[in-house]
């Protein structure tokens, strides 16, 4: 990694680690679709096909009668896809980049972050589709400029969970299956394709303890209705996101010395 060190940046310092992270992310983005016919369009394909299938089911088979359902659904799918990809690829990231884990002095905690950032890039590539759809349906709202704050909170959740599960997968190879099962179940118990009002009062506690449910609802309110999220719940959500990030980082630091010998 010495070839990517910028002049004046101390090796091992924050600037150097950022340089390394940026290099690895660029490399991943450059190689993931190399040789494919559609290239970057593959970043849009999964959420678009999931949108079409879910839209058909919940408008033709089991109608939910939600206004502007296509943009409502797309907003939820994009946010959830970022979350699901971050965990799905982050949990196996250390195994996939074993050559970096065993390299002496390498900041191995950067590796799970690559999966989160690459998934975020896919989210940003698909976001213009949502913006265009809103322009023709719900309209664009000036309040949407608050969206980066909500995305920062979601990034904390995704990064924290990736940092938490990635080293655990090295010691217990069942973690990948457990995370995959949790993500699959989470899709159905999170208001991705339905709204808060469809949840029975007896099951509202599932929504209350689900950070992604609050994030998706807040993003929808902001983008589709121009409704700013309530301050106190958003601050609480941000604090929980930071706590998850810190917990993931602490767990990773506690495990990192034993990672090379277990890979």
| pLDDT tens over the chain, length 263 residues | 444 443 333 455 566 677 888 888 888 777 776 655 555 566 666 777 777 777 777 777 777 778 888 899 999 999 999 999 999 999 999 999 888 888 887 889 999 999 999 999 989 988 988 888 888 888 888 988 999 999 999 999 999 999 999 999 999 989 999 999 999 999 999 999 888 888 888 888 888 899 999 999 999 999 999 999 999 999 999 999 999 999 999 999 999 888 888 87
User: What is the model's pLDDT at position 201?
Assistant: 83
User: What is the model's pLDDT at position 5?
Assistant: 43
What own/partner pairs with CB < 8 Å and gap ≥ 24 does 237-245 have?
A: 237/153, 237/211, 238/153, 238/156, 240/211, 241/153, 241/154, 241/156, 241/157, 241/160, 241/211, 242/156, 243/160, 244/156, 244/157, 244/160, 244/161, 244/164, 244/211, 245/156, 245/157, 245/159, 245/160, 245/163
User: What is the model's pLDDT at position 2?
Assistant: 40
Residues 20 and 14 sit within 8 Å (Cβ to Cβ): no
Specify the pTM: 0.86
User: What is the model's pLDDT at position 61?
Assistant: 73
User: What is the model's pLDDT at position 89?
Assistant: 93
d(CA 259, CA 101): 7
Residues 79 and 215 sit within 8 Å (Cβ to Cβ): yes
Residues 76 and 191 sit within 8 Å (Cβ to Cβ): yes
Structure tokens at 61: 């088979």
Question: How does DSSP classify residue 59?
Answer: I
């Amino acid at each position: 990694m010495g070839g990517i060190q910028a002049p004046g940046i101390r090796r091992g310092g924050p600037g150097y680690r950022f340089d390394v992270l940026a290099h690895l992310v660029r490399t991943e983005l450059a190689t993931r679709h190399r040789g494919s016919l559609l290239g970057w369009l593959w970043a849009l394909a999964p959420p678009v096909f999931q949108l079409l299938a879910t839209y058909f089911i919940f408008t033709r088979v089991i109608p939910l009668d939600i206004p502007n359902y296509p943009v409502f659904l797309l907003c939820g799918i994009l946010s959830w896809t970022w979350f699901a990809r971050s965990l799905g690829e982050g949990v196996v990231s250390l195994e996939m980049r074993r050559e970096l884990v065993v390299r002496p002095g390498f900041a191995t905690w950067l590796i799970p972050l690559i999966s989160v950032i690459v998934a975020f890039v896919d989210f940003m590539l698909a976001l213009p589709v949502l913006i265009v759809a809103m322009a023709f349906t719900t309209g664009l709202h000036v309040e949407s400029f608050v969206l980066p704050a909500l995305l920062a909170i979601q990034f904390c959740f995704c990064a924290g969970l990736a940092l938490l599960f990635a080293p655990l997968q090295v010691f217990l190879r069942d973690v990948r299956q457990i995370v995959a099962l949790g993500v699959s179940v989470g899709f159905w118990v999170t208001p991705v394709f339905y709204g808060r009002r469809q949840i029975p009062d007896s099951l509202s506690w599932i929504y209350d303890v689900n950070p992604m449910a609050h994030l998706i609802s807040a993003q929808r309110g902001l983008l589709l209705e121009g409704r700013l999220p309530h301050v106190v719940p958003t601050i609480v959500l941000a604090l929980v996101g930071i706590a998850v990030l810190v917990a993931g980082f602490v767990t990773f630091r506690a495990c990192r010395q034993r990672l090379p010998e277990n890979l």
